[in-house]
Structure 1
Amino acid sequence: MKSAAPIPPARPPIDGPALLGIRDVRDGFDWPRIRAAQIGGGAQFALMLLAANVLGAGIVTVLLAGQAPAWQRILWAAIVGATSLFVVFHRLSARNRTRTAASLSDIRRTALDGLALGIVWAVVPLWLAPLDGNDAVLGVWMMLIVLMTASAMAMATLPLASIAFLATLSAAMGLSLALAAHPALGLAILVLAAILGVASFSRARAMAIVHAQQLALAERDETVSLLLREFEESNADWLWEIDAQRRVVRAGARFALTLGLDPTGLDGMPLLQLLAGPDWETGKFAPSLRVLADKLKAREAFRDLILQVEVAGQQRWWQLAANPRFDDAGTFIGFRGVGSDVTEARQSTDRINRMARYDLLTGLPNRLLVNEALGQAMADADKWGSRCAFMMIDLDRFKAVNDTLGHPVGDRLLGRVSERLREMMTENEIIGRLGGDEFAVVVRDARDTERLENLARTIIAKLSRPYEVDQHTLYIGASVGLAVGPRDGRTAEMLVRSADLALYRSKDAGGGVFHAYEPQLHVAAEERRILEIALRGALQNDELHLYFQPVVDAATTQLTGFEALLRWTHPELGPISPSKFIPLAEDARLIAPIGEWVLRHACAEAACWSDDLRISVNVSSEQLHNPAFVSVVAQALSQSGLRPDRLELEVTESVFLREGTGAIRVLDQLLGLGCRLSLDDFGTGYSSLGYLSRTRFSAIKIDRSFVQAAATGGREATAIIRAVVALADSLGMATVAEGVETEEEHRVVAALGCDKVQGYYFGRPLPVAEARALMGVPTGGDSVAA
């Protein structure tokens, strides 16, 4: 908890001796200026003092006619006049000499003025008119008392002079009364003089306090003025002030400079008119200016008000703060505040906001802004009972561009893609980049289904046209998933999920097409999610097992080996088809541990067979792109005791599609172990002869689709099988025909020269016990694969 700020100590009271000029002190007051004010006050009453003395001398001279010789009265009156004139001139000259500061001696010299006047007036009670009961003398004494009072008032700002005068005159009057046997009256005169002296001192003290406060206020105002002047000169901020009619008053130079106007012409101008600029005539003000007008109208303080203004034809941003002002009577007199130009800060903020909402590579809205736009479209559709739509776009074959030509070319290609997408968009659509090679389109009004589908087809067609990038002609495509809200999702997240599921379906269909969301897609996705969760526990729960399909010699039908096939039986879901869980394992990155389990168990089982039988194991491209896979194979062979040449690893063409990943090096290392390699499903993919030249395969497996087509008289299939056989023979490779299910199919492939066959005609995939029985191996022995 913060402690309260210390309260500054109060100023000490005015020091009496210092006020009289008896001593000099340093108590925080500006005594030289206070003394100058004392002398100045005395000068102001100098003529009053002169008038009182001359008039009093004249009255006394008249009253003493018959009491004193004329020459004495005239001489005394002349002395009074001369002394009074001397005091007045002394006062006036001292004021001119001490306008800003006065010394202690200047105050002390004023005592001589009071003493001189007191002495010349003391002559009257002591010599010219001692109190004797005469009416004229009584009048003179009354005049002396009046003079004492008037002089005390005239010399009040100079208490030392006043006290000197009162002390001298009252002492003379008291002595005269004492000599005339009137001691009580003498004491009364002294008491009156004391009262007048105290009153004079009190008045002088009050004057000194007031002047000290005025000096403090002036010093504070000067300090504030200096600070404000320094503030305006050294900062980009400025001060502004308006009156109750919202007109500018006391326009500062910085304020005028910011407006680009002459400060002499700003006073009296309406503030809102100055800020509105050319828009003042049209009435089309910025919303922030209306907010300012409301604040001024409500007469309430405000701060951090961001205002959009136009200065010299340029748009600027100001930040204003102000407080209302009221006079002593509580009447509203205007506003006073401070302003600053925050255009650069505003521009920096706008750039940061743009970077947060726009993709730096393509300049399109990013995922954040797309989600905001989709949320707004969903809200508008719900409000007006309309429809909106969301499209997810995924580029086909874009990864191959990155892998072969590098990411810089891929980035430039993405820029070209974004340009084509922009050309297709209208005010009804918002296009954005979600990341990677994924884009999205938000359709605000999607009531026209036909137009929506045409847009999807147009996107696919235009993005599939060839691109010229860095002297490369590039061919890619696009797949689109479409979802319509609120039918396919009540929230933005649900709609994105639905479009994503539709995109998966388009990709599964081979790409280059669009699919709209259907409820069964969600069912399939949920089934996929449940299967993935179950598959993650299949290894630990011992739910996986191997089946073995026989491979026989095509000419003699003699058993040459088996292909290990993975099966999964879930305790609740039952048997799961490999066509479902194998792709799922690859997507979920579970294929590596599952593949390792298959390899170890297949090697362990094959070690129990006859030495002339081989075991074939399918290997995924994900496994071959891992350099540690060679160690996995070596450990499986070592732990099982199986000879390497009895292990045949089957790979597909997909392993060669990823450049620079080291798969070919892994294959070479496997050949170095003594293992055999076969190319599976040859003819169904790209079927490049380059694959066969890169790696020493021992066999090529012909897909069952060619076998079936050749058996029904298909000329193309027959020609392909014959060509593959001839190619394999020339390279020293064997050929294996897959999927032979009938005698006719067996006869055809044997006649075409295939070395080996496998299929249901010779045996379906068998569990361990039946496979052993087929080979004549005892089934009672332990087997890891069982």
Structure 2
Amino acid sequence: MPLKGFLSGKIGSGSRGASSAMSDTEKLAMLDELEQSGLGWFWACDRDGNVTYLSAAIAERINVPLGELLGQPLASVFVSTDSDGRTKSLSLKLGAHKAFSGFAVRSEKRPDGPVLRLSGQPVFNGSKYAGFRGTGADISDEFHREEETQRLAKFDSLTGLSNRHRMKQQIESTITAFKAAKRNCAVMMLDLDKFKHVNDTLGHAAGDELLKQVADRLKRSIEVECEIGRLGGDEFQIMIPDMDDRGELGEIAMRVITMLKQPYSTEEGRCVIGASVGIAIAPHDGVNADDVVRSADLALYAAKNGGRGQFRFFSGELENEALFRRRLEENLGLAVQDEQLFLKYEPIVSAEDQTVRALEAHICWMHDQRGEIDEEEFASILDGSSQVIEVGTWAIRQACQHAAEWPETVRVAVNVPVPLFAADGFVDAVSEALSDADLPPNRLELEISEAVFFGDTNVVDRTLAQLFKMGVRLTLDEFGSGYSSLAYLRRAPFDAIKIDEALVSEAQAHDSNELGLIKAIVALAGALEMDTIANGIESTELFDQLKACGVKRMEGPIYSDPVSRETVETELIGDTWKIEPSGDRLKRARRRTVFRKIQVIHDDHSYEVTLRNLSKTGALIQGLAEVPKGTQFVVDLGGGQLAVATVIRSNGDTQGLEFEQSLVEDGSGGLCTRNRVSPYALASAGAPLMALDPGDYKGMTGGLLGQGGSVPQFGYAPPSKYEAA
């Protein structure tokens, strides 16, 4: 259709007055100029929706020859930009024979081309529908701005991952839908360890770059379908639908932790961080999104408190554990006043002759309810506490008093938290501690982290100079974890460099590059006449490698775990203490009580027994009399954890069980079943949601138990035979 025909349908009944003086030729010329300017385009289609007119400028704009467009259905020439891909929307609008405006489309042949906005009005010959006439405009810039605005509303601008709002929506909608379908969904909460240290030492630009690299590693490390989000700061969240296998989830969590602790390179420097992961699974750990996320949060809290760099599954006792933990933090001040804190000492040994040269002080807490809180857990409680200055000062005073009783050849090392170093009166407190204990200053080593250098430069330099003048030995702690600037070593009178434990661990896993870096640190220290210390050493292989690199002093489980003051004094009676390195001394895992009551089910009866021993492949139970070999039990470990087991040994009231499916690590030194019985299945069978109680289970379905109505086959052994064991 020529433009004249288009106009006849559009303005054929033009208005009276001044405009009527304009000829059709002038009108055509004006509209032609408008088309060519790109400010407005025109289109028309017949009653069947086929294009009868299209401004040449539109064809040129979408880079498709005009001849290929005329006569084609308008709905196949242009498709909706709707994210749902509803390409028939334009057909529906034309078929409704009603005016429309502001409809965003793209070229079907050039989907990566410009975005156009179409408006149209139906044309009638009398009462008979004759087609559409309309206009178009290029709105690409506006569309992309709106698209970016919408994207920013859903995705994190720094990492490109889903943001907090989108993750909340995704988890809520998924778990709601899965609840009706009785499907599982896992949620992981992830927090970076030592990220604040990177921000403090390398600056926020490096922190931002690190977060981008973390996001990339997360996407690469999780190979199953999932949604990954950054909630803000250094906190991330992962949703994995249709997964409740805790063996697989634990493997994913460890893969994430392992990948994230590999060294990072930024323009500002090299850094090493870690990660802790908390895992919860719907519906076992919550049947709605808020409950599941809260459970994952509690699991993350437990993972961080357990020493960081680990994962933890949610379990029912974590809530009480978290509440007790908060009480511990609140009661820390009283612990100092009531003299509940005490020191243990970890030997720092000469790599050359295996003589103990120093003892590093670790703070522990003898709690009246909890018992001994070891150095790792106490450090996590103290971190960020308002009591850190008071506790740190106390530790220096105690360490000096103890060291005064040791041979002169042995020094004491104390870690100095950044807030304590920056506190008014710190130098005076050190001087007073030495004076009161009558300890020569050179027998006190203060371990200071790089983070202190990001305080007031004048204050830092003045404090270090005063300590040096006093004669105290200074160690630069955690070297290699952050900026590790040579400027620190030029500015400060350090006597030793302590290589970061994470760097030592990496040397064991990837010895080529990391050992090269350690050699460089040793060479640097040698040039500056400083000692080098490596800690966290567990294997003889790593010991030999570090010794070959020239590391002078070492500490870690290969020598000894932290020991009591009494043990130190006993070992130092002969003035020297030598310890031969041994790879048999593995770092002690946290001991978890296994001696507890559980239920075992046979046929349709449940029996209470004592669980004496638990391994991945089996268990030792006590309490039932004369159970024959080959008997099958369903072992209820609590929380829907049911394990099918066969009796392979039986002696009086004690039975050895072999599990049909091995247990898996629970992330905290314990064991758990791969899968749990769904709360929905337990509820439908008439059982409690959280655990199975003693009683009749003939209503249970799923083939776990036999038919009801039988008599219990096993009697209980006399309590005296096993409860006293």
TM-score interval, smaller chain: 0.3 to 0.5
Q: TM-score of the superposition, structure 2-length normalised?
A: 0.47
More helix by share: 1
More strand by share: 2
Higher Rg of the two aligned structures: 1
Q: TM-score of the superposition, structure 1-length normalised?
A: 0.44
